[in-house]
Chains A and B, each alone.
Chain A
């Protein structure tokens, strides 16, 4: 089974059909996706502002990160759950969509980012700003802005139309014959 077939199977399940065609549930899940981005994006922004030294300078990085972590996770789970539901409902459209693919790639980069900076920045115990803090914060902001933008752009992708075979001299000759 290819990935395209798996996407097609997901979209054709009964609940995906019902969800896609629901005029109420689909927009509600989309709204929850956006509300999650709004509310919990704040936790990500605040963490990064602290790492950049732009806010909460009287708290240590460790404290800010630790206190916001459960909210970041709660938000992440809400946004991803809604996102998976939304993508499943229109999986055939999402699979060839380059913006969707870039979005998934960037989400994987967020995972790599977390692995790379976890020990040195997010769990650093010293009260001074970790050496890589600014780099980690800038990369995190860039990745999340990229993910948000690709998410919006998914809706604007149009599948390339089937290119018809080029018109040859043979065809033209046939046209002239039929016209005469």
Chain B
């Protein structure tokens, strides 16, 4: 029988590996959410107005993907430190739902709106929903520790 020994996980047995992983998690979170926010600001008609929203999607694309890659990799490591506790946490479940929804939204509707420059009402709606969604994800992440 395969038994997963939590104490053998370096994140649990060593003093600095867990906070270090968290630092990478937070920094890469700022990278991907920050890059998406740059596009959102432009959709709201502010920020980098020399570029179109479509150009900003292209410019930020690589950094957003890199951010997602690191944040998810670190997230999986953090999850591995105590999987059952996370799985049973309601804020964590909400966070995973928001993450899935956020990634789907970012690479479908959000991108479509940014590339097709529709009426300002639709642009505001797309940007507002994006900001709200990613903000909610951060809130659910913090509440894991306070539930």
Contact = CB atoms under 8 A, between A and B. Distances in A.
Interface of A: 23, 26-28, 30-31, 34-35, 37-46, 49, 55-56, 58-59, 63-64, 67-68, 71, 145, 148-149, 152-153, 155-156
B141 to A, nearest CB: 7
Interface residues of B, number: 36
A41 B31 contact: yes
B19 interface: yes
B47 A68 contact: yes
A56 B59 CA distance: 7
B27 A148 contact: yes
Given A56-B48, A63-B50, A148-B30, A38 B63 contact: no
Contacts, number: 108
B63 A30 contact: no
A45 B35 contact: yes
Main SS at interface, chain A: helix
Contacts of B19: 152-153, 155-156
B112 interface: no
Nearest to B23: A149
Interface stretch (B3-11, B99-107, B114-122, B130-138): B130-138
B66 to A, nearest CB: 11
